[in-house]
Amino acid sequence: MRYIITKNTFLLKANEKNGTKIIERGKEKNSKESMLTIINDSCSYYRFSLEYRLYESKEEFKKNYKLPIIIDNDQKIIFFPLKSITSKDNIWVSYNNITTFLRKKNNTLLIFNDGSSIIVPVNYSIISSQISKCFILEKKC
């Protein structure tokens, strides 16, 4: 059975078996599917293709790189990538589940709304920029 992103999905990242590690509220799981497959399947499940969701973001932000996307308008599920969406070591993060984020040298600590946290190997300014874009997308839901 394929994994579908829900409002309880916090983060997707590559695992050591070329699949995806999924962090949800209170638990972690692994999937054999790639992150892009999970993102695409989830977009389709909620009525739109990943291609269309990327098109929406391209139109809004007039760029093609590291675009956040709306997964589901009704539940306002928005995810953003930390690297190029085709990068094998990309991480997709749920905008809706982040409470705050803090600078940790060249990394960033993400704190989720259940109190859990994770350090991601990305500069604080990148997270800040992505959060700002997601805020704009949220207004379109």
User: Which domains are delineated in the chain?
Assistant: 9-138 (2.40.50)
Q: What is the DSSP letter of 95?
A: G
Q: Tell me the CA distances in angstroms from 45 to 21, 27, 32, 92, 137, one per residue in order.
A: 20, 22, 18, 18, 19
Q: What is the pLDDT, as a whole number, of residue 133?
A: 96
Q: What is the pLDDT, as a whole number, of residue 76?
A: 95
Once rounded to an integer, what is the mean pLDDT over residues 4-11?
98
**CA 102 remoteness from chain centre:** 18
**CA 114 remoteness from chain centre:** 17
| In the predicted structure, residue 137 carries a pLDDT above the cut 90 | yes
Q: What is the dihedral of CA 81, 135, 115, 22, to 10 degrees?
A: -30
Rounded CA separation 23/5 (Å): 10
Q: What is the pLDDT, as a whole number, of residue 94?
A: 98
Q: What is the pLDDT, as a whole number, of residue 119?
A: 97
Q: What is the pLDDT, as a whole number, of residue 65?
A: 87
pLDDT in tens, 56-97: 999 999 988 899 999 999 999 999 999 998 888 899 999 999
**% of the chain exceeding 90 in pLDDT:** 88
| In the predicted structure, residue 13 carries a pLDDT above the cut 80 | yes
pTM of the model: 0.95
